[in-house]
Chains A and B, each alone.
Chain A
Amino acid sequence: EVQLVQSGGEVKKPGQSLRISCKGSGYTFASNWIGWVRQKPGSGLEWMAIIYPGDSDRTYNPSFQGLVTISVDKSLSTVYLQWRSLKASDTAIYYCVRQGHHTSGSSFDYWGQGTLVTVSS
């Protein structure tokens, strides 16, 4: 069974750094792109970034470029999303997603359970 299991919720202060994680299992981890989607409270979905574990190739949404870093540890089957300096506006639920192969439409076919990040002084 394919699973994406995310790290637990975080409460941070503005200016602090943070790394959240997403561990994949139940499939060949290196062969599907893994991305992150943000959902602010009461709002819609925003795609942030995506990485290919096989070769660490990555693409960012320009709206998030320079604000976050996506990375992968293939040996741990884990993808990370990192902030160097959090802002209150980063408060949101962050979902990791697996992108299906081109032959199945390239949609986000599996989602993690979400990680709530709260940034407050």
Chain B
Amino acid sequence: DIQLTQSPSSVSASVGDRVTITCRASQGIRISLAWYQQRPGQAPKLLISATSTLQSGVPSRFSGGGSGTDFSLTISSLQPEDFATYYCQQVSSFPYTFGQGTKLDIK
């Protein structure tokens, strides 16, 4: 199985801050990586597919990058609604796997 390791596991930040979450794969996955946001009590929501493709309706302050084994999600200027848990996921090969999650909370 391909393991995904996110860092940090949790981060505290303020509104307006720039935050970057990284996701490292245990083997190369080309650009087959997605990012999801999960707010408390809600289903996850797809933010970014294929490493850097922003989904329709997702604010442009979110961006993704990387390839191979190292990937990142950046939020350029945090808004109150961005405080949530973020997961990366690889869809390069079965079994699909998720990172352990990064909880972003208010400082």
Indicate the size class of the contact surface on chain A: 20 to 34
The minimal Cβ–Cβ distance linking B40 to chain A, given in whole angstroms, is 11
Cβ contacts under 8 Å, B98 to chain A = 44-47
Chain A positions 23 through 66: 1 when the CB is less than 8 Å from some CB of chain B, otherwise 0: 00000000000010100000011110010000000010111000
When A44-B100, A47-B95 are in contact, do A111 and B89 touch as well, CB less than 8 Å? no
* B22 on interface, CB distance cutoff 8 Å: no
List the count of A-B residue pairs having beta carbons below 8 Å apart.
65
Taken together as a complex, chains A and B put the C-alpha atoms of A47 and B94 apart, in Å, by 10
Interface 9-mer from A11-19, A74-82, A83-91, A99-107: A99-107
Cβ contacts under 8 Å, A109 to chain B = 46, 49, 55
Cβ contacts under 8 Å, B97 to chain A = 47
When A106-B32, A109-B49 are in contact, do A44 and B87 touch as well, CB less than 8 Å? yes
Taken together as a complex, chains A and B put the C-alpha atoms of A110 and B5 apart, in Å, by 24
Per a CB cutoff under 8 Å, which of B50, B87, B94, B100 touches A105?
B50
Q: Is the CB of A108 within 8 A of B53?
A: no
Name 27 A/B residue pairs within 8 A (Cβ), A-sorted: A35-B96, A37-B44, A44-B98, A44-B99, A45-B36, A45-B44, A45-B89, A47-B89, A59-B94, A95-B43, A95-B44, A100-B49, A104-B50, A104-B53, A105-B49, A105-B50, A105-B91, A106-B32, A106-B49, A107-B34, A107-B46, A107-B89, A108-B34, A109-B49, A111-B43, A111-B44, A111-B45
Q: Which residues of B contact A (CB under 8 A)?
A: 32, 34, 36, 43-46, 49-50, 53, 55, 87, 89, 91, 94-101
Nearest 7 A-B pairs (CB), nearest first?
Answer: A105-B49, A105-B50, A107-B34, A61-B95, A107-B49, A47-B96, A111-B43
